[in-house]
Structure 1
């Protein structure tokens, strides 16, 4: 088998999860540096804000304005010149000479001994630098307020022009996986379109003689193919272009041709099934024929067998390199390996600087059996106990083929490679599904 000095190679022992993740990241980095195809200007698109969710920002978004655009009040209260403030507990009495609303600046002059009733977000008059919240006043009438002078310092409760963002400075940095809040930020700056990376083209296929499409009738020993639908949902969460290559039978000629066809039109190929050691599992053989490949047994549960590498196929007059993931056939293992390895690689390949999923911790409600020597991903439900502390409980049987366990869960409990049994009350690492699955 051909491989570059830094490419992963066939291994007989099981890799740790962290080792596999690092090897994948390194090969993706090499692919990007070699081709630069995904970083060419032609691979940048201009999209409207309503089409930008979960796209990856291609260039720094520079603010065209200062935010806020003028000094303004941070709360409802009374604006005045803070020079009148002191350190004692004497009362200060100020005459109210007008009112400033958000969007309607007060244009009159504010003299010493005077103040302006002001609403949150309203522009501060040039003569004022301090705001006393209305709830801190001792007395309020239509014409006068009174408060103790030591309740605040000059300049308090005023938001300065450009305090949040300076004009021409980055509001959002390139590589951002755009979230709803990012779109709102862009809109607040008057920006209606964004420059984003083009969508990766990801081909998916399932292999196995036992698999049937949903419109087919099940015969003895056959099952419906669920993996392509799970993968489609996972990929849609990343807003990628999906090429569904269907089901391929357990035949080396048919499978090889399917790989070649998919590789010529996609940036990434994800297959499920055919990566274990059964007589009908041909993926390993075909991968060795088509490209530079690392074929791994990973010390994890579920998802131990997984193939990864680069497929080479001719597209027109040039050779195309396609990132390849051969995932296990078991439905839960497909989703676990996608979560643990594929998602980060897709984001990295598409130029994102946010590839790691968010993690938290919770208290295990019950004991969990665990053998040291492998990383385990247990399906679980995250909640809270009576004291408001985060707790987690497993969904029941954790078999790799029990897709219901994924449907009922809202998180993974991740048990580390060297970790043993977990007692009730122990804190465990948790990765949330929301935004990922």
Structure 2
């Protein structure tokens, strides 16, 4: 029997995203609890930001009509610190003003204090050393946000800067999507947790901490179900437990077809499963399906994604496939994986028949260096690196070539 052709990364992702639907439940949270959540609805500003025309510089508020030549001398007749409101500016006068203070009526420009000098022996006079432009250094009322207009759009992932925008708009609470609930467990009798003694042939489970941290960095409510013995009954029981209160189940390991790989028969028995071979390196095997929520009053399913066990394969396939799937479950605005053209300062002379994702680091010359060992078992390549090169199947390149670079920093939020 001929094997079906391997899926491309694009085909696999299209299939995954075709199934994902955003969670519908929302909750109202205080601003201090909104970091890492997804905004459920557009929010409007309660105020104009800034509320009045104000200065962006320390200096003097002036009327441009009073300054027709360099060296003009004006009388300083008021002082306006931030938080105060000045009186209307009189002709041939200037107001000493400080950053953030409202611009007084009649003033139409700000002169930076560096562009002025005091008149000797005249404490209330200032000399303006150049002709100002109308409106310079004035921040206009509502130029950042307008009262009643949308300040933040539904579907955005709330970072510190979005919370700052919401606060400047006068908001104290936000309606957000509930967190996507993800359960994770790990298969393999060879696995041990750090701190436990290693038996002969044993290894410490790095995928547990890597994947749980990835989930939490995306704002998920992640449940760790631990290491599951390499038995069909134990794997089925773990799936039933994970399906109860979770939207998605993620596993690592056991997605091949060996005698000790129980994921396929277990998920098939508890739900449905496709086992894919994807033309990428690292990370060829990927399983996708769903597990029945048999104990619920209403029928339902928890999605299932099974990742390979090698640590780099598990990490890379999470970034390429699980992350976009979760983003869609969260109801986040459409986001494509960023790819930037950068210079490779190394040669890659041997093309692979699969789409390769190479661990690289940005060097001091603005190019990319390659980690010398690209094995799927060498997780230090991902720790050392800043990101991945997306190298298409069958493509070799010389040093100095422009390549597609994906930074890790853009993939873990």
Q: Provide the TM-score with structure 1 as the length reference.
A: 0.87
Local SS of the residue matching 2:409: coil
Q: Secondary structure at the match of 1:142?
A: strand
Change (3 A) 1:99 1:197: same
- 1:8 aligned partner: none
Inter-partner Cα distance in structure 1 for 2:350 and 2:186: 31
Query: Following the alignment from structure 1 to structure 2, what is the Cα–Cα distance between the partners of residues 46 and 14?
Result: 44
Q: Distance in 2 between matches of 1:66 and 1:176?
A: 22
Partner of 1:413: 389
The equivalent of 2:115 in structure 1 is: 136
**Residue deviations 1:72-95, cap 9 Å, x none?**
112122212234466xx5653322
Compute the displacement of 1:303 (Å): 0.3
Identify if the C-alpha distance between structure 1 residues 54 and 356 changes in structure 2 by more than 3 Å, giving closer, same or farther.
Answer: farther
Shift of 1:372: 4.8
Superposition deviation, residue 253 in structure 1: 2.6
Specify the alignment match of 1:81 in structure 2: 63
Is 2:45–2:170's contact at 8 Å kept on the other side of the alignment?
A: no
Distance 1:146 1:158 in 2: 20
**Structure 2 equivalent of residue 223 of structure 1:** 203
Return structure 1 stretches of 4+ with deviation > 4 angstroms: 138-141
Q: Deviations over 1:86-125 (max 9, x none)?
A: 6xx565332221111111222x332221121211211011
User: Structure 1 CA distance, aligned partners of 2:335 and 2:266?
Assistant: 29
Bigger shift: residues 221-230 or 133-142: 133-142
How far off its partner does 1:370 sit? 4.5
CA contact (8 A) 1:343 1:355 kept: no
Report the equivalent of 2:406: 431
**Which of 17, 27, 30 lines up with 1:48 in the alignment?**
30
The answer (yes or no) to whether the contact 1:99–1:118 under 8 Å persists in 2 is yes
Say what the alpha-carbon RMSD is for the aligned residues. 2.2
Q: Does 1:12 find its partner at 2:4?
A: yes
For 1:21 and 1:72, the matched residues in 2 are separated by 49
Structure 1 residues 55 and 147 mapped into 2: Cα distance closer, same or farther (>3 Å)? same
Q: How much does 1:268 deviate? A: 0.5
Alpha-carbon distance between aligned partners in 1 of 2:37 and 2:349, rounded to the nearest angstrom: 40
Aligned to 2:172: 192
SS at match of 1:14: coil
Alignment of 1:10-409 (within 5 A): 12-29=4-21, 32=22, 38-39=23-24, 43-84=25-66, 92-106=72-86, 108-137=87-116, 142-147=123-128, 151-353=131-333, 355-385=335-365, 390-409=366-385
How many residues are aligned here?
Answer: 408
Q: Distance in 2 between matches of 1:85 and 1:370?
A: 70
CA contact (8 A) 1:348 1:355 kept: no
After TM superposition, the structure 1 stretch with the greater mean CA deviation from structure 2, 355-364 or 408-417, is: 355-364
Deviates more, 1:183-192 or 1:253-262: 183-192
Partner of 1:422: 397
- Matched residues in 2 for 1:309 and 1:196: separation? 28
Provide Cα deviations, 1:269-288, integer angstroms capped at 9, x if missing partner: 00111112323223233333
CA distance in 2, matches of 1:173, 1:315: 37
Aligned-residue offset at 1:375: 1.7
- List alignment gaps of at least 5 residues for structure 1: 1-10, 33-37
Residues 81 and 129, structure 1, Cα contact 8 Å, conserved in 2? yes
SS in 2 for 1:67: coil
Displacement of 1:374 in angstroms is 2.1
